[in-house]
Structure 1
């Protein structure tokens, strides 16, 4: 199947779609504490809607304040939000795209920092991913939430939305009621399947009664991937209710936000086959059109899912962060120009979790104002062709500046070129190639294999210098370290120096050190990894870190030694101080230093008398 086959017109209920691509709902954190729309929202959705997506499902929108998952989440619990949300629907419609409102109440996944009250759930229970304990809902509170769904639907209609999506899965409130794992009530909202479906049934009726002619989509989790959680075999009664309630389509995701975040966010280390199996199973029990979500931003995967009839539509979330024009580029056969998502979660989820607006490590323009041409173009030197340097050079060039990009290596990409060489990070190769393509297609003079010093800068005589020189490995001063066979983590991943023997000591079990450790144990090495502090894999994206630590805990060839300092090397072994107690470890064949990085500031110091503008970016 040719990827361009998904660009024929399609019907979904009364929706007339220009292609088969939806945007999946993404938490953006562009909002305000009172749930209002900002310029960040408008810039973000303007960019997506211009890129060829047929229908955008808005970010999760809270039907009540006590159901908010993020302090800056959009809300629709009061009539004042109608005018706010109209700003978004009008922007999206102006770019020939449709837009749907994604209604949700987070239940036990609600964030107390956002709600200023404890979460509410069918049963008193803690959400592991947040640590917050939920209180059991009273019957009065349940009725208030059900009514709120209807009121929210009315407001969505008045705000100009084209369809409504109801979040009925992924460990949020509707699925919390449906799952016997999270619903242990013994009243008319619990115990039997009929009772556990009652909340969903009453919510769906409220939505249907207030939606008018707008089509309805239900988003569900095909499998929660948690012991005792909902599996694809448990979904029959819920899907039957969705059909009976007049929904036009099912939107299939995976995981549970509280109990299995890696699957909910579809982490890059997870296999794809379970997705295909789940879609095939759901296809076998319903005639409703299916929208497939979860790392769908790759042609080969789309061709399989649509070509084999596993789904009728696809939903893209993070791939549209990396490249909002991805659909247009697919349609016009410009795949080589696409910046693909690596599913790393570093710029999107990590930003939002830390309270910042959503971003992307390969697209610095997420949610920003459109670039404008400079009134007076400047001559700019960018030193360093890693991700930061490439992004800066491309952006400056698009603004009309005269840019020259220097790098002392022969290949653009910098340290990011090493990322796909780590275990479970192979998907990072695609976004790196995307950055390289952006550079090739830009009007930028590139000079590789050139070390830049003060003399080179003076010869170039630029108006501004952007220093993106990155960082280098920090090598600790340890007695007799030079008597050992030593590699840095950079040398290890580059493959420029061999690992000798079978016993390896890694100094520094941070985010890079543990990746080195996994790679070594996979090829049969016996590894000890020390860390001066008690935090193993420090600095790693949280979900990546959790998955990594789970794998490391099961690895018999690896010994982790937190709160351990390497004191020195002796002929009979390695002396360390573990939690204040000195020990002598048997000798190692290879020592790998992964003790952090230090910014390369030499050029900045050389240029202290430079009269133009100097900017330092990235790891520099």
Structure 2
């Protein structure tokens, strides 16, 4: 049965319709149903949206790590993968390590990604982007460009309002980028019109106070996006699919509302947009762009539904879709045609394949901790709390050992569990010791507060792996020198974890003070 999952797109339509029920009658039948629009056939309904990796060199060179990053995610079973935002112009960069498509020499570099994705039977797509005011002179060497003299609310700093001539030049650069994307081998182009970047800045009264033809009423504020769609359509032809990503709701005074977004999209669909990705938030409300764990799953799906009900092209839902059953519900209730799973595929590239095979307990779910975003800002490249191999897949590949050893692991928290299952998967004889009656370590305590319960998904995954690879777990067992001598392991791994800090509060040593872990 699983062989059907890897068939070419031309054959997928027939095979999938007859085989997806093996997971259980009616389970996830929508998620693994093929989907056709424009001239594309998607083998299922799962799309990886553009998500920054910053595994790109500062001259736009695509690194081997970037190729491997996308290849692995494409091989995991998603139907289409949109690579990270590519700057169409140097002054539109938001990072030194952003992907670029502003010069012809980037065609060869980006073609490496398109080829790697397509070879995994996944549709390669690309997102075109201009940061506008959401950058700094430190990155671009000049004042950021914006529709109006309103600085970015997070970066601050003076901006330069765009002249009409400059607007026309940027429109042309989007067209140039589209031609390069086509030559590089991408099969869909997405225009980034969301998250407070330049196109979003024009669309919203929050950032656009112009009084010329590019401001004012909703048609004026949509003109810039409309001209970009028209320019790209003229460059790529009538049959090439174009997507538009929008922040349906910005959650700021004078920001976009879903009602305004519908009007905007109706104009853009008439101009040539074939499919829409519905997101939310801007530079002042980043929690709606990359939703943390205290937000409910699929928190933007209702916006997708409202937009889908009002326009005549397919809609992609995005936002906290980290569970295949949640994705299935979005599709089965008609809220969207496709589901975008970004952080979920960062955490586990095999999410679609595992869901297809019914191995739901083996999915390493994203816990919405946003370590990925924090690492980008703090370290300049993406990382993942639940997937330590992210961006280092080749370096950390689990390969069989040539010298099996007896391994004793002291501590059954997330660190010890991870070492245990990886060592066992490589072929070692692994014994894990935990002095408490339950595996999980400090994460058990850390998950007690309501909105943090999802962190237990990491422990759930690790327990599944430990069982799968035959790790021998010894609970209620404290490791002593005598025990180590008795068991005589080849390797001892100390994974005893961290010790909670006792804050220097006056009187904390008194008997009336109750320990935090007993509340």
TM-score, normalization by structure 2:
0.89
C-alpha contact (below 8 Å) 1:63/1:76 kept by paired residues: yes
C-alpha contact (below 8 Å) 2:298/2:318 kept by paired residues: no
Greater CA deviation, 239-248 or 390-399?
390-399
Q: Which residue in the other structure is 2:318 paired with?
A: 293
Q: Which residue of 318, 329, 332 maps to 1:307?
A: 332
Greater CA deviation, 291-300 or 161-170?
291-300
* 1:342-372 deviation per Cα after TM superposition (whole angstroms, max 9, x unaligned): 11102x1111111342121111111221333
Distance in 2 (CA, whole Å) between partners of 1:474 and 1:272 is 32
Q: What is the deviation of 1:6?
A: 1.7
Distance in 1 (CA, whole Å) between partners of 2:380 and 2:425 is 26
Distance in 2 (CA, whole Å) between partners of 1:364 and 1:272 is 23
Q: Which residue in the other structure is 2:410 paired with?
A: 383
Q: Secondary structure at the match of 1:127?
A: coil
Corresponding position: 1:357 with 2:381: yes
Q: Which residue of 438, 447, 463 maps to 2:474?
A: 447
Q: Secondary structure at the match of 2:293?
A: coil
Q: Which residue of 325, 349, 362 maps to 1:337?
A: 362
Q: Which residue in the other structure is 1:237 paired with?
A: 263
C-alpha contact (below 8 Å) 1:379/1:403 kept by paired residues: yes
Q: Which residue in the other structure is 1:401 paired with?
A: 428
C-alpha contact (below 8 Å) 1:129/1:261 kept by paired residues: no
Corresponding position: 1:150 with 2:175: yes
Q: Which residue of 97, 120, 139 maps to 2:145?
A: 120
Q: Secondary structure at the match of 2:210?
A: coil
Q: What is the deviation of 1:477?
A: 6.8
Q: Which residue in the other structure is 1:185 paired with?
A: 210
Distance in 2 (CA, whole Å) between partners of 1:478 and 1:267 is 31
Q: Secondary structure at the match of 2:159?
A: strand
Distance in 2 (CA, whole Å) between partners of 1:443 and 1:116 is 56
Q: Which residue in the other structure is 2:16 paired with?
A: none
Q: What is the deviation of 1:272?
A: 5.4
Q: Which residue of 460, 480, 486 maps to 1:459?
A: 486
Q: What is the deviation of 1:273?
A: 8.0
Q: Secondary structure at the match of 2:199?
A: helix
C-alpha contact (below 8 Å) 1:92/1:98 kept by paired residues: yes
Q: Which residue in the other structure is 2:200 paired with?
A: 175
* 1:543-564 deviation per Cα after TM superposition (whole angstroms, max 9, x unaligned): xxxxxxxxxxxxxxxxxxxxxx
Which structure has more strand as a fraction of its residues? 1
What are structure 2's unaligned runs of at least 5 residues? 1-25
Q: What is the deviation of 1:135?
A: 2.2
Q: Which residue of 297, 304, 309 maps to 1:279?
A: 304
Q: Which residue in the other structure is 2:79 paired with?
A: 54
Distance in 2 (CA, whole Å) between partners of 1:398 and 1:275 is 38
In 2 relative to 1, CA 189–335 (structure 1 residues): closer, same or farther, beyond 3 Å?
Answer: same
Q: Secondary structure at the match of 2:419?
A: helix
Corresponding position: 1:469 with 2:482: no
Q: Which residue of 395, 405, 412 maps to 2:439?
A: 412
Distance in 1 (CA, whole Å) between partners of 2:425 and 2:380 is 26
C-alpha contact (below 8 Å) 2:298/2:321 kept by paired residues: no
Structure with max Cα Rg? 1
Distance in 2 (CA, whole Å) between partners of 1:440 and 1:273 is 31
C-alpha contact (below 8 Å) 1:473/1:488 kept by paired residues: no
Q: Which residue in the other structure is 1:524 paired with?
A: none
Distance in 2 (CA, whole Å) between partners of 1:34 and 1:241 is 36
C-alpha contact (below 8 Å) 2:301/2:318 kept by paired residues: no
* 1:65-115 deviation per Cα after TM superposition (whole angstroms, max 9, x unaligned): 211222211111111111111111111111111110011111111244432
Q: How do 1:41-120 residues align onto structure 2 when only pairs under 5 Å count?
A: 41-120=66-145
Q: Which residue in the other structure is 1:320 paired with?
A: 345
In 2 relative to 1, CA 476–418 (structure 1 residues): closer, same or farther, beyond 3 Å?
Answer: closer
In 2 relative to 1, CA 111–286 (structure 1 residues): closer, same or farther, beyond 3 Å?
Answer: same
Higher RCO structure, 1 or 2 (CA under 8 Å, sep 6+): 2
Aligned-pair Cα RMSD in Å: 2.0
Q: Which residue in the other structure is 1:483 paired with?
A: 510
Q: Secondary structure at the match of 1:57?
A: strand
* 1:180-217 deviation per Cα after TM superposition (whole angstroms, max 9, x unaligned): 22111222322233322221111112211222442111
Distance in 2 (CA, whole Å) between partners of 1:315 and 1:427 is 20
Distance in 1 (CA, whole Å) between partners of 2:83 and 2:368 is 20
Distance in 2 (CA, whole Å) between partners of 1:243 and 1:427 is 38
Corresponding position: 1:194 with 2:226: no
Corresponding position: 1:255 with 2:281: yes
Q: Which residue in the other structure is 1:499 paired with?
A: none
Q: What is the deviation of 1:250?
A: 0.8
Q: Which residue in the other structure is 1:367 paired with?
A: 391
Q: Secondary structure at the match of 1:60?
A: strand
In 2 relative to 1, CA 414–308 (structure 1 residues): closer, same or farther, beyond 3 Å?
Answer: same
In 2 relative to 1, CA 192–335 (structure 1 residues): closer, same or farther, beyond 3 Å?
Answer: same
In 2 relative to 1, CA 475–247 (structure 1 residues): closer, same or farther, beyond 3 Å?
Answer: closer
TM-score, normalization by structure 1:
0.75
Distance in 1 (CA, whole Å) between partners of 2:484 and 2:298 is 52
In 2 relative to 1, CA 10–117 (structure 1 residues): closer, same or farther, beyond 3 Å?
Answer: same
Greater CA deviation, 457-466 or 302-311?
457-466
Aligned pair count? 490
Q: Secondary structure at the match of 1:303?
A: helix
C-alpha contact (below 8 Å) 1:106/1:172 kept by paired residues: yes
Distance in 1 (CA, whole Å) between partners of 2:401 and 2:64 is 22
Distance in 2 (CA, whole Å) between partners of 1:450 and 1:118 is 62
Greater CA deviation, 122-131 or 311-320?
122-131
Greater CA deviation, 336-345 or 276-285?
276-285
Distance in 2 (CA, whole Å) between partners of 1:249 and 1:455 is 66
Q: What is the deviation of 1:277?
A: 3.3
Greater CA deviation, 174-183 or 129-138?
129-138
Distance in 2 (CA, whole Å) between partners of 1:143 and 1:485 is 70
Q: What is the deviation of 1:276?
A: 4.0
